[in-house]
Structure 1
């Protein structure tokens, strides 16, 4: 029986067979079919039999993934999607779920997403009590509005999705004018330029025109008292020097409680984007209080790095996100161990996730104490690896130090009875010239550390400092400013070697610049006399089955000899032509799957041809040509050894 991937690929091919090759158009058609059922009007050229086949494929796939809602939200959107119109893409659902839990959305809360896209945050809420006003989304793209409404419908979530520019919708006389929300969850567009004048009118201050800054400010302005906003932002919002970014950070720190800043891995949004993204968790302050801010860094989200991650399945490995959730959702009073017992200065929470295994620890200072250092020491002999914490009074009474040793093997903590230097000397026996065997878990700055979180592997997850310590001059909110050990010192080579490296790197830079300038000076492909020659070495890699080999031979014959030189030029073909059947006949599975495999290998390319007089489109394929390649100069490392050339597409 075919799996979900095969069934959805077959659905895609059926739509492409009638000229609908655009990914978003396919998703919209499937959304309409799932929502309307028998009332669905198929596109021109799709027969009743093909429509019924699409419906049966979707029903079969839905049975494998617990219903049409999960099929649409977790599989269809991520199986067919690349980057969709306007540079938009659905937010990976493991990120959506993590944010939803960290924000602690309750059934009574009014929830809003000001750039809801496919509606991921809205449907994460699950079935509501029927009050449509409690779940609200705003989306400027009409196509994405339809997708979000369908997603909510398929999940039985009664969401209200407003179509339009969020600044107009939230502005004077807009649909959400004057409304506030208990929770605002948001992954806004990055890098777009918005109307600065309109933004100032709606937000109430000069926020600038950058979309990520404007949306963050808009979210803050629509929070109810005590409400929380969880907003994804790029690095520029945390440390940028623009006037809007500086003012936003000032207002965040001085007028709100910044509960956490979480740096996600650079691959967290792959295969769509590798841009470094951070999560801001902010509460609207109701009264002055001694708040603290967690600065956390996620090393792994549980998926492999790179563009090959499959977001239709749960993360295949553990990752840091469940630990980050525990750090931010377990209350301080839930400490499991206090040291010393008679007059606690340190509280410890062990992080285990239901499997009985301790995964990490949160150690927090109690009362008027701070954690002045936290160092990880490696295992030696029978001694397991451990973290050594130093606690002192925040009032600077240096003689009142308290040391705690946290074992990373089994989750135990105990006050240190001996001097730390004696312990280090006894275990590691360092010479006077040896470096310190310990590694600091956070940068030793003037900022008082109230809590530190780390894994049982001894890796720092983050630190918590008083929110007042994130103040002027720049109100910088980068977690990398606080989390991490002392920078490793690299010994420089000789002056001759350094100059040689600089010279080689300069030559490599010039070659790259020359290559890019050459690309700009190429004649447009449309202005050339004929199609480009076939790429001679484009052949399948790996072993093909006999059936696949037969299809490949028929595909390889789809070329034409043009010109006096007899060069082979790519010719357009359809799946039916490869099979040698009539156009009205559906191509065989082996042909369809093999051509799809050749497409993923980069040997054939899909082509859509539109008749300008009728507007009708048809889907074809062709073999790759020399013009489909963008060759970069070979890499050259500082030692002068040349590497392989890179190949990309335009």
Structure 2
């Protein structure tokens, strides 16, 4: 978490943009991301140089080619495109280098036909003045970015400033909620992970960090490294700016060539991606609806609805391989909605696949963006059923206050959620799980499939939770009346005494 002096430094960068005339939060984030990405390129090239100097061999995987770059105005050494070089230039020269040389260079990075190349071809430098650019470069240079975790925290903090983004049901997912979902699904080095509403790629970044922390064996094998850097992560988003930011965010976190595509997940057919992935992590938009003519026909064959939250669930089922698993945030309405489409989708999850868990989140989890109550659904695609017992957890505190300020607090159920989930038996003998004997008055408990079916596939926690009412012992009304009469006499006596003293 970014706090204290570091937070102050990051805020100075943000405020410099605002005072310099760029007030659109998305544009600020995009321009900062470009600069951080350019800085990261220089770091990677420096690492390659140091390795070459140590081994006495030629530089491998060099970022900046050796030679001259003729832009039509004047030739410039590729070395001048590096952050460590141009940061020392005078403001006008730095501005010219970045505008006329650096941005054309990064627009042409990436393999031909790659998603990164497609996203970056429209990258635009919009910082209006040399003075603002020079100030921002100086401020970014003063922020420690060497450590990957610190870099991630800083970037997440800046992304958190997109508080105005809650349009069309889209808003940033808090990092601690993402982390819970990643920890509970436990990505493996073999997984093919997708977020069909990727935004800034927060879920994919967290999954990549999980793999780094839990599977260091990835780096001992060339094929595993290639899978991690090229195949493991896929993200779709309909917004071009989000796709660019997502691509660069993954690069900043050390994933070299993920697939981050600009793609309207609900409007395009998915024959090219059907059954391609083993893990879905997502918080899709859920405040809108589509016309039937707009929605992808292959999704409407699964569930005929205009609701985006239901269409996204249908999409996830379609994208997963059999045996693939999903963790997805949904509004509470998905759990108990009475429409034909709502019931059909819940029945599909329970009867045709394996519904594993419903984790109910507090209603303030996504403030200040929205106060909508939400839950996380965990399910496994089987195409042959398998739901036996569904685990429910009622999260009452997530480590932050549930108001718009979202101030950190000591009350936090999330570690308990994860610990209980990880304690489940790996075999099918669910009765050996301690949760099996938990009463319905507890925060977590299991509900058998038969009971869910009997409740018309209602998945709302309150349908199954038993509320324990504490018996309150009331005082005898006659005793209370007697006490009131005594008080009344005392008041009358005091009033009479006061009146005599004033006579």
CA distance in 1, matches of 2:4, 2:421: 42
Find the aligned partners of 1:171 and 1:285 in 2 and give their Cα distance.
Answer: 19
Bigger fraction of residues in strand? 1
Query: 2:28 — aligned with what?
Result: 26
| TM-fit CA distance, 1:222 | 1.6
Match of 2:236?
Answer: 138
| Match of residue 469 from structure 1 | 451
Residues 185 and 170 of structure 1: CA distance in aligned 2, closer, same or farther (over 3 Å): farther
Q: Shift of the alpha carbon at 1:300? A: 0.3
- CA separation in 2, counterparts of 1:489 and 1:57? 61
Between structures 1 and 2, the one with greater helix share: 2
Q: Is the 8 A contact 2:169 2:287 kept in 1?
A: no
Give the aligned partner of residue 285 of structure 1. Answer: 382
Matched with 1:190 is 286
CA 1:261 to 1:52, structure 2 compared with 1: closer, same or farther past 3 Å? Answer: same
CA distance in 2, matches of 1:138, 1:193: 19
Q: Post-superposition shift, 1:226?
A: 1.1
**Mind listing any 5+ residue stretches in structure 1 that lack a counterpart?**
335-343, 349-361, 366-370, 375-440, 443-459, 492-650
* 1:24–1:84 contact (8 Å) kept in structure 2: no
Q: 1:481 to 1:285 in 2, by over 3 A?
A: same
Aligned match of 2:425 = 332
2:465 is aligned, of 450, 459, 483, to 483
The residue aligned with 1:12 is 14
Could you say which residue in structure 2 is the equivalent of 1:364?
Answer: 436
Deviations 1:341-397 (A, max 9, x none): xxx99857xxxxxxxxxxxxx4435xxxxx7xx4xxxxxxxxxxxxxxxxxxxxxxx
What is the rounded CA distance, in whole Å, between the counterparts of 1:294 and 1:246 in structure 2?
Answer: 19
Aligned with 2:143: secondary structure?
A: helix
TM-superposition CA deviations, 1:294-320 (whole Å, max 9, x none): 11110000112211125xxxx542511
Question: In structure 1, what is the Cα distance between the partners aligned to 2:169 and 2:296?
Answer: 25
Residue aligned with 2:443, SS? strand
Counterparts of 2:430 and 2:323 in 1: how far apart (Å)? Answer: 30
1:412 aligned residue = none
Distance in 2 separating the partners of 1:85 and 1:40: 32
Q: Which residue of 2 aligns with 1:319?
A: 412
Q: CA deviation at 1:45?
A: 3.4
- Aligned-pair CA distance for 1:183: 0.5
What is the aligned-residue RMSD (CA, Å)? 3.0
Q: How far 1:142 moved relative to its partner? A: 1.0
| Secondary structure of the corresponding residue to residue 261 of structure 1 | strand
Alignment check: 8 A CA contact 1:199 1:208 kept: no
1:67-466 maps to which residues of 2 (within 5 A)? 69-79=151-161, 81-83=163-165, 86=168, 88-126=170-208, 129-131=225-227, 132-157=230-255, 158-172=257-271, 176-197=272-293, 199=295, 201-203=297-299, 204-285=301-382, 289=386, 291-309=388-406, 316-317=409-410, 319-332=412-425, 362-365=434-437, 374=439, 441-442=440-441, 460-466=442-448
Change (3 A) 1:288 1:115: closer
Task: Please tell me whether the aligned partners of residues 303 and 341 of structure 2 are also in contact (alpha carbons under 8 angstroms).
Answer: yes
Inter-CA distance 97–40: structure 2 relative to 1 (3 Å threshold): farther
C-alpha separation in 2, matches of 1:188 and 1:274: 16
CA contact under 8 A between 2:352 and 2:384: conserved in structure 1?
no
CA gap of 1:44–1:327, structure 2 versus 1, over 3 A, is closer
Partners of 1:346 and 1:216 lie apart in 2 by 30
Matched residue of 2:305: which SS?
coil
1:253, 1:468 within 8 Å by CA — same for their partners in 2? no
- Contact 2:279 2:324 survives alignment (8 Å): yes
Structure 2: state its 5+ residue gaps.
40-82, 84-96, 100-124, 213-217, 219-224, 474-503
Query: How much does 1:137 deviate?
Result: 0.5
Deviation at 1:475, TM superposition (A): 0.8
Change (3 A) 1:268 1:2: closer
Change (3 A) 1:46 1:122: same
Secondary structure at the counterpart of residue 115 of structure 1? coil
Task: Give how far 1:269 is off.
Answer: 1.2
Equivalent residue, structure 1, for 2:138: 56
Between the aligned partners of 2:284 and 2:274, the Cα distance in structure 1 is 21
SS at match of 1:258: strand
Query: Per the alignment, in what secondary structure is the counterpart of residue 125 of structure 1?
Result: helix
Larger RCO, structures 1/2 (Cα 8 Å, 6+ apart)? 2
Matched residue pairs, number?
371
Q: For 2:156 and 2:339, locate their aligned partners in 1 and report how far apart those are by CA, in whole Å.
A: 37
Instruction: Give the C-alpha shift of residue 283 in structure 1.
Output: 0.8
| Matched residue, 2:479 | none
Distance in 1 separating the partners of 2:450 and 2:389: 8
- Aligned 8 A contact 2:325 2:379 in 1: yes
Give the CA deviation at 1:68. 6.6
Question: TM-score under structure 2 normalisation?
Answer: 0.67
> Which residue of the partner structure matches residue 641 of structure 1?
none
Secondary structure at the counterpart of residue 185 of structure 1: strand
Normalising by structure 1, what TM-score?
0.53
Aligned partners of 1:84 and 1:4: how far apart in 2? 27
Question: What is the Cα deviation at residue 282 of structure 1?
Answer: 0.6
SS of the equivalent of 1:272 reads: coil
Aligned mates of 1:40, 1:34 — CA distance in 2? 13
Q: 1:463 offset after TM fit, Å?
A: 1.1
Distance 2:177 2:456 in 1: 29
TM-superposed deviation, 1:62:
3.5
Q: Secondary structure at the match of 1:166?
A: coil
* Cα displacement (A) at 1:240: 0.6
